[in-house]
Chains A and B, each alone.
Chain A
Amino acid sequence: MKFLVSLAWKNLSRYKRRTVITMIAIAFGISMYIWIDGFLLGMEKESERNLLWYETGVAEIMEAGYWKDIAYFPLKDSFKVSPKLIKTIEDKGFSWTKRTAFISEMFDENGSLPVIVYGIDTKRDEEVFKLKETIVKGKYLEPNEYGVLVGEWLAEDLSIKVGDVVTVRTRTRLGAYQAVDLEVKGILNCPNPKVNKGTAFIPLSVADREMEMDGRVTEVALGLPEWTSQEARLIPLTKEIEKSFPLLVVKNWRDLAKDFVAVSEGKRGGTSVLLFLIFIIAAVGISNTMLMAVYERIREIGMMRAMGMKDSSIRLAFLLEAGGIGFLGSLIGVALGAFFTFFMVRYGLDYSGILGRMDIGYRVTGIFRAAWDIKAMIVAFFFGVIVSMLVAFIPAHRALKMEITECLRYQ
């Protein structure tokens, strides 16, 4: 074995240029994989955070009927939050805040836009969401005031600024048309584009009064102080709610942000195809290199077989040689991928100039940052080595099928 490893290693230097080109192809494939994977993972993680902090919380409790028609924000399926429900939530270690969401049309003197308005508990909302931290102009809402917080993009679209008055037209829980004048108190620049683009926030008490909610809300958003084990911690709470409050359901952020989950999975699928193509390029590269290496050495193979070297040993020598190219290529690829990822994690790429306000499904804006995916790096490394060895198998096998005398005569 020692001899085979030594022979394979020395053979790597036999056709330096070809070896280097193949290594570059593999390194390119691996580094692209690591870079894109880290980039997508970063986008997903940031999107997840921006969903949790600004849009959905860890989960929401709502009426089953509301969940069924959630796309229409059916206020008739709202509910009153009982002390028993609050106790159940708090006993399981979750923070909470009440919200009422409804669809409206927001007017100013220049025109109107459809907007989702959330009535928020101005004192409790910070327990779950981080909207307050994103205010770039004006101030946060006071309880009971007829004020509104709007996203920066929405403010630009409606050409409104702090102090302006906008009219929100909607239908109340009981079906009456309603128009409410609200003063713009603050403008948010939220990293979640959905919030930035088409969402407004008003005090829950104002929403309750103007929407004829009579103390009802559409949802209770839940938060957790830590990021880990969210889904595991939701299980006992969900069971408890289902048991004690049969009309209510608990929906986690993945259920609530199905558009993001679908886009994320779709893009992952598309990227997998791209990555597969990159690996095909690398595989074809090494396959070509090994094919040439084997055919240029057929007489040598004949000599080794004549000397009594086992076919399996000769095959192994070629596999080790290909594995050596794969090893070096993968090593360089992982190093390059890590280098690119490092910069993407630390500094990110500012896409705001290119994408503007384009909705790409992810809940990220401006600078896109990557995340470290050590598992993907390890997988890519071994994949590079193993694929290299596998593609060398065929030409080596073909050469070994030739008769020894045929090999020795081969020109």
Chain B
Amino acid sequence: MVKVSNITKDYMVGKMVVNALRGVTMEIGSGEFLSIAGPSGSGKTTLLNLIGCLDKSSAGEIFIDNEPVSEKSKKELALLRRKKIGFVFQSFNLIPVLSAFENVSFPLSLLGVNDKELKERTMALLDEVGLGGLENRFPSELSGGQQQRVAIARALIKGPSLVLADEPTANLDSKTGSDILKLMENLNTKHKATFVFSTHDPMVMDFARRLILIHDGRIVDEKTMRRLK
């Protein structure tokens, strides 16, 4: 599904070059529930951004469904993200003037899905993430956990093959964070979408079925987890 081949990413901070990623190679299979873990500044977010085609690597190549992304134009990358990749952000990034329903259906509007189908799919997914009956609430009227559920539903609504979540539980308390991870896990199983999430929280790492540890821009360890449900 995703192949990362010896990518590096360098940033300029003033006159200093910061090597955020130093030759990362990895593969992510279809339907995986994978965590990229590491301390702050280790390069997790940079790696997720590159996999999500939000940024371009300094060297190396990323393949999504066997297609190299470095050759794609901005428009093609936008189209790829629109169709295949869902995002969940640490601070939810919901549009405050839109209701839960409208936030979730936003990606379908971008795809030009007709009103009837849009409504059916959105309501079904809102039910699935446990927000049935709250569809008319605005983000300010929802708790942090509920907002993140909206964000997850928004990421999944278009049926993406890949969902990238950057520290999805960092702004939530541990109980809510745990619930969110369980929800993500269920959705991963049910929708067969690949979930990749970054974290530095050991509790969150425990939820992953595969764990990639990253430090100073390099993969330092990789584990297959056998979590008891």
Residues of A within 8 A of B (CB): 3, 7, 10-11, 13-14, 299-300, 302-303, 305-311, 313, 403-405, 408
Contacts and interface: CB of A to CB of B under 8 A. Distances in A.
27 contacts: A3-B106, A3-B109, A13-B97, A14-B96, A14-B97, A299-B93, A300-B95, A303-B87, A303-B89, A303-B93, A303-B95, A305-B78, A306-B81, A306-B87, A307-B107, A307-B110, A307-B154, A308-B82, A308-B107, A309-B78, A309-B110, A311-B74, A311-B78, A404-B54, A404-B55, A408-B89, A408-B93
Given A11-B97, A408-B54, 16 more contacts: A10-B97, A299-B91, A303-B87, A303-B89, A305-B78, A307-B82, A307-B107, A307-B154, A308-B79, A308-B80, A308-B85, A310-B75, A311-B74, A405-B54, A405-B55, A408-B89
A408 B107 CA distance: 18
Interface string B110-154: 100000000000000000000000000000000000000000001
3 shortest interchain CB distances as A-B pairs: A308-B82, A3-B109, A303-B93
A303 B82 CA distance: 12
A156 to B, nearest CB: 68
A302 B91 CA distance: 13
For chain B, the bracket of interface size reads 20 to 34
A300 B151 CA distance: 13
B78 A310 contact: yes
Interface string B92-105: 01011110000000
A7 B49 CA distance: 26
Contacts of A13: 97
Interface in B70-90: 74-75, 78-83, 85, 87, 89
B49 A309 contact: no
B217 interface: no
Contacts of B89: 303, 408
Contacts of A302: 93
Contacts of A7: 95, 97-98
A364 to B, nearest CB: 52
A313 B109 CA distance: 12
B98 A308 contact: no
Interface of B: 49, 52, 54-55, 74-75, 78-83, 85, 87, 89, 91, 93, 95-98, 106-107, 109-110, 154
Nearest to A8: B97
Contacts of A313: 110
A324 to B, nearest CB: 13
Contact of B55 (A14, A303, A403): A403
Given A3-B109, A7-B98, A303-B93, A308 B55 contact: no
A17 to B, nearest CB: 15
B213 to A, nearest CB: 23
Contact of B87 (A10, A299, A307, A403): A307
A244 B13 CA distance: 89
Contacts of B154: 307
Contact of B82 (A14, A299, A309, A403): A309
Nearest to A313: B110
Contacts of B93: 299-300, 302-303, 408
A306 B97 contact: no
B195 to A, nearest CB: 16
Nearest to B98: A10
A161 to B, nearest CB: 75
Of listed A14, A302, A303, A311, residue having the most chain B CB within 10 A: A303
Given A299-B93, A405-B49, A408-B89, A306 B54 contact: yes
A13 B95 CA distance: 13
A305 B77 CA distance: 10
A308 B81 CA distance: 5
B64 to A, nearest CB: 13
A307 B88 CA distance: 10
Contacts of B107: 307-308
Nearest to B109: A3
A300 B96 CA distance: 10
Nearest to B115: A2
A404 B45 CA distance: 13
Contacts of B97: 7, 10-11, 13-14
A11 B75 CA distance: 26
A292 B185 CA distance: 39
A308 B54 contact: no
Contacts of B52: 306
Given A404-B54, A405-B54, A307 B81 contact: yes
Contact of B78 (A10, A303, A308, A408): A308
Nearest to A13: B97
A13 B91 CA distance: 23
Nearest to B87: A306
Of listed A7, A11, A405, residue having the most chain B CB within 10 A: A405
A214 to B, nearest CB: 87
Contacts of A307: 81-82, 87, 106-107, 110, 154
Nearest to A404: B54
Nearest to A312: B75
A41 to B, nearest CB: 42
B118 to A, nearest CB: 10
B56 to A, nearest CB: 9
A308 B96 contact: no
Nearest to A406: B55
B226 to A, nearest CB: 33
Nearest to A10: B97
A325 to B, nearest CB: 15
